Amino acid sequence: MKKKVIIMTDSNSGILQSEAKELGIFVVPMPFTINDEEYLEEISISQEKFYEFLAQNADVSTSQPSQIYLEETWTNLLKEYEEVVYIPMSSGLSATCENAKNYAKSFDGKVFVVDNKRISATMKASVFEAMALAKQGKTGAQIKAYLERTWNLFSVYIMVGTLKYLKKGGRISPAAAAIGSALKLKPILETTGDKFEKVGMVLSVAQAKKKMIAKIKADIEGKLKTQYEEGTLTSSVVHTQNLAEAEKFEAELKAEFPNLKFTPIEILSLSVSCHIGPGSLAVTLQNNGFHE
């Protein structure tokens, strides 16, 4: 007899392959092209090797799972499960989601592709919510509906350590990058899932943390007030090769928000890291009402 629902996501969630096996889910390793050679996150390239390539100014670009890969994966999973719920990176940040929706049409309503605008730790929280709902006996359609209905219950704020990679990826003009680099400015970015927007420029990490703390305070007094008061809101500190600063930042956040729950410090996925480089520091908020 088949099991009911399996939850599937990709490595942008920060969930490791080893963790996926323990959790009983499936994680798609995201592909990269580096100097014309393809790599799979955590499978054929490590974080350390990836940053070595960045330091060498390698030609790094992100890609997405192929149609053949996804269709073969779903076919194999459906031999053991009745339904697949796939939670990829936000459609606003990658074409993976929309393409997956098209591929899923040939699976007779057994594959549910979720577009709830998530990335990194907020995406991971969605996976935990989906797992909990599946455990409760919810169908793939019900899980997808819940995740997409609650898509906006999150925040992401990122301090970029260097403007080099934003310039390289065409996400900031060469002139702005040159001025910012000369002044040693650090941009603060936020995303609601469709794109990254600049919400400030600061001169130091201390100023960046102060700015992000202010944004978090505004969120828990505003759009996420109910979740904060109900105790279902969690926060994650995320970084790229900046663990010492991430640990300091987490301590400051815990002191500032004693009633906020924190997940373990996360490492930002390589799909985002290639656009912002090392030295970044981020904080997220996400509703996690179903994760015990």
Query: Which tens digit of pLDDT belongs to each residue from 35-51?
Result: 989 989 888 988 888 88
Q: Which two tokens stand for residue 89?
A: 């990176």
Query: Which tens digit of pLDDT belongs to each residue from 258-272?
Result: 989 999 999 988 877
Mean pLDDT of the chain: 87
Burial of 283 (0-12, 13-18, 19+ CB in 10 A): buried
| CATH class name, domain 154-287 | alpha beta
Query: Which tens digit of pLDDT belongs to each residue from 225-257?
Result: 999 998 899 999 999 999 999 999 999 999 999
pLDDT at 156 over 50: yes
**What are the C-alpha distances in Å from 83 to residues 80, 91, 110?**
9, 22, 5
As beta bridge partners, residue 113 has 86
Burial of 59 (0-12, 13-18, 19+ CB in 10 A): exposed
Give the best-scoring range by mean pLDDT among 47-61, 109-123, 155-169: 109-123
Q: Which two tokens stand for residue 86?
A: 């796939």
Nearest CA among 124, 125, 145, 143 for reference residue 133: 143
Q: How is the chain split into domains, by residue range?
A: 3-30+65-149, 154-287
Give the pLDDT score at 164: 62
Give the pLDDT score at 84: 98
pLDDT at 14 over 70: yes
Give the pLDDT score at 173: 44
Task: Say if strands 31-34 and 60-62 run parallel, antiparallel, or are unpaired.
Answer: antiparallel
Give the pLDDT score at 274: 76
Confidence bin at 289 (pLDDT 50/70/90): low
Q: Rounded to an integer, what distance in angstroms lies between the CA atom of residue 152 and that of residue 69?
A: 30
Confidence bin at 94 (pLDDT 50/70/90): confident
Q: For the structural domain made of 3-30+65-149, what CATH number should be given? A: 3.40.50.10440
Confidence bin at 60 (pLDDT 50/70/90): confident
Give the pLDDT score at 176: 42
Give the pLDDT score at 291: 43
pLDDT at 25 over 70: yes
Task: Say if strands 233-239 and 186-191 run parallel, antiparallel, or are unpaired.
Answer: unpaired
Query: Which tens digit of pLDDT belongs to each residue from 166-216?
Result: 545 444 444 444 444 444 678 888 887 777 787 888 888 999 999 999 999
Confidence bin at 109 (pLDDT 50/70/90): very high
Q: Rounded to an integer, what distance in angstroms lies between the CA atom of residue 88 and that of residue 90?
A: 6
pLDDT at 71 over 70: yes
